[in-house]
């Protein structure tokens, strides 16, 4: 009987591969440790707010990083005191923040997506100028325009929660148009040409064809704008009549007592109530941010 000579495995080639794999595993472990430490550093302020929101005011100052046990425990009294502090109800501030955030985000998403589609498809000199002006607005510091903006908003009667979204549209248009233009470049123009052959005008083509395809970037832009507008303090402080309209960040500023005294326990409780919705919202929608940014990162 004939015996087949089986080729011997080349162990010399396998050893370098095994060494590369082990080296890659070590690098991954090292990166995991580094990013875990960075994550802990970023989470520590949130944990400090959570812990101190259940402490009595005196212990917030003296035992900032200790757990609220024993005589330190304040329960929900800090939340009650924070919501009832001053002559302005907290629920009203939360309502104004919600209205401003939703209206502004909706206005930014719809207007900038339409503008980006027009800018990219027309691609004239005028559209290029508009696009680069929007991109340039991303690097202009807010402090350069805040005084003239405040005066202009008062003159145009944009100092109410129902009109301030127009001001937010101006500041949020730069990033939104930049992201939408990048995504529109990836949409085949043949789809829009087919819609035009079927009798669709520009408006119908946008809402029936383009608008559904922009969904990933719309979600990303919406999440980023919501997080910015919900936590914004300076623009509402400058534009709104704070005696009549207070958002949550402005409400926090007015928790001071006489002679500058501050109930830190109540302040921490209100801060916790204001950041929890944004944190939960971001954790639920963070995957859409990555998808939208990746979808918009297209070179024409």
| Mean residue pLDDT across the chain | 82
Domain contains 278: yes
Alpha-carbon torsion (221, 240, 154, 150), positive or negative: negative
Domain contains 5: no
Quick one: 53 and 145 in the same domain?
Answer: no
What pLDDT band is residue 101 in, cutting at 50, 70 and 90?
A: very high
Domain contains 241: yes
* DSSP-derived 3-state class of residue 85: coil
Please check whether residue 220 is in contact with residue 178, taking contact to mean a CB–CB distance below 8 angstroms.
no
Domain contains 207: yes
- At which of 29, 46, 72 does a domain end? 72
Return the percentage of the chain with pLDDT > 70, whole number: 86
pLDDT, average across residues 60-75: 80
DSSP 245: -
* DSSP-derived 3-state class of residue 256: strand
Quick one: 180 and 93 in the same domain?
Answer: yes
Domain contains 78: no
Quick one: 89 and 24 in the same domain?
Answer: no
* pLDDT exceeds 50 at position 299: no
Give the pLDDT confidence of 196-252 residue by residue, as tens digits.
888 888 888 888 888 888 888 888 888 889 989 998 988 998 888 888 888 988 888
* pLDDT exceeds 70 at position 75: yes
Please check whether residue 255 is in contact with residue 86, taking contact to mean a CB–CB distance below 8 angstroms.
yes
pLDDT at site 170: 86
CA dihedral 186, 187, 188, 189 (to 10 degrees): -120
Quick one: 250 and 281 in the same domain?
Answer: yes
Quick one: 61 and 117 in the same domain?
Answer: no
Domain contains 77: no
Q: Give the tokens for residue 32.
A: 């995991």
What pLDDT band is residue 4 in, cutting at 50, 70 and 90?
A: low
What pLDDT band is residue 12 in, cutting at 50, 70 and 90?
A: low
DSSP string for residues in 104-171: HHHHHHHHHHHHHHHHHHH--HHHHHHHHHHHHGGGS-GGGTHHHHHHHHHHTT--STTTHHHHHHHH
Quick one: 120 and 233 in the same domain?
Answer: yes
Quick one: 40 and 97 in the same domain?
Answer: no
Quick one: 171 and 39 in the same domain?
Answer: no
pTM over 0.85: no
Q: Give the tokens for residue 287.
A: 């995957």
Domain contains 8: no
Q: Which domain holds residue 135?
A: 85-296
Task: Describe the crossing of helices 264-296 and 77-84 by its angle, rounded to 10 degrees.
Answer: 80
Query: Which CATH number covers residue 95?
Result: 1.10.3720.10
* DSSP-derived 3-state class of residue 262: strand
Rounded-to-integer distance, Cα 208 and Cα 193, Å? 13
Domain contains 4: no
pLDDT at site 291: 65
Quick one: 170 and 240 in the same domain?
Answer: yes
pLDDT at site 1: 47
Quick one: 169 and 275 in the same domain?
Answer: yes
Q: Provide CB contacts within 8 A for 64, sequence distance 6+.
A: 48, 52
Question: How many domains does the chain contain in total?
Answer: 2
Quick one: 54 and 106 in the same domain?
Answer: no
Quick one: 147 and 249 in the same domain?
Answer: yes
């Amino acid at each position: 009987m004939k015996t087949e000579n089986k080729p011997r495995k080349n162990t010399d080639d396998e050893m370098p591969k095994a060494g590369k794999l082990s080296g890659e595993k070590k690098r991954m472990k090292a990166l995991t440790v580094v990013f875990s430490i960075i994550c802990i550093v970023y989470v520590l302020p949130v944990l400090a707010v959570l812990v101190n929101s259940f402490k009595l005011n005196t212990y917030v100052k003296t035992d900032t990083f200790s757990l609220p046990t024993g005589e330190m425990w304040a329960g929900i009294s800090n939340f009650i005191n924070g919501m009832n502090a001053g002559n302005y109800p907290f629920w009203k501030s939360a309502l104004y923040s919600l209205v401003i955030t939703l209206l502004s985000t909706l206005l930014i998403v719809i207007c900038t997506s339409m503008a980006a589609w027009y800018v990219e498809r027309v691609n004239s000199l005028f559209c290029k100028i508009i696009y680069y002006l929007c991109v340039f607005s991303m690097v202009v510091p807010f402090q350069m325009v805040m005084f003239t903006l405040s005066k202009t908003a008062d003159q145009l009667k944009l100092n109410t929660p129902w009109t301030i979204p127009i001001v937010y549209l101006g500041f949020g248009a730069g990033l939104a148009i930049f992201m939408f233009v990048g995504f529109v470049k990836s949409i085949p123009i043949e789809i829009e040409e087919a819609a035009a052959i079927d009798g669709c005008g520009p408006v119908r083509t946008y809402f029936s064809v383009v608008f559904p395809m922009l969904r990933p970037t719309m979600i990303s832009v919406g999440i980023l704008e919501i997080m910015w507008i919900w936590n914004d303090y300076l623009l509402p402080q400058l534009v709104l009549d704070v005696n009549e309209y207070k958002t949550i960040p402005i409400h926090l500023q007015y928790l001071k007592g006489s002679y500058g005294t501050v109930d830190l326990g109540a302040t921490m409780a209100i801060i916790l109530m204001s950041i929890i919705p944004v944190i939960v919202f971001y954790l639920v929608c963070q995957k859409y941010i990555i998808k939208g940014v990746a979808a918009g990162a297209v070179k024409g």
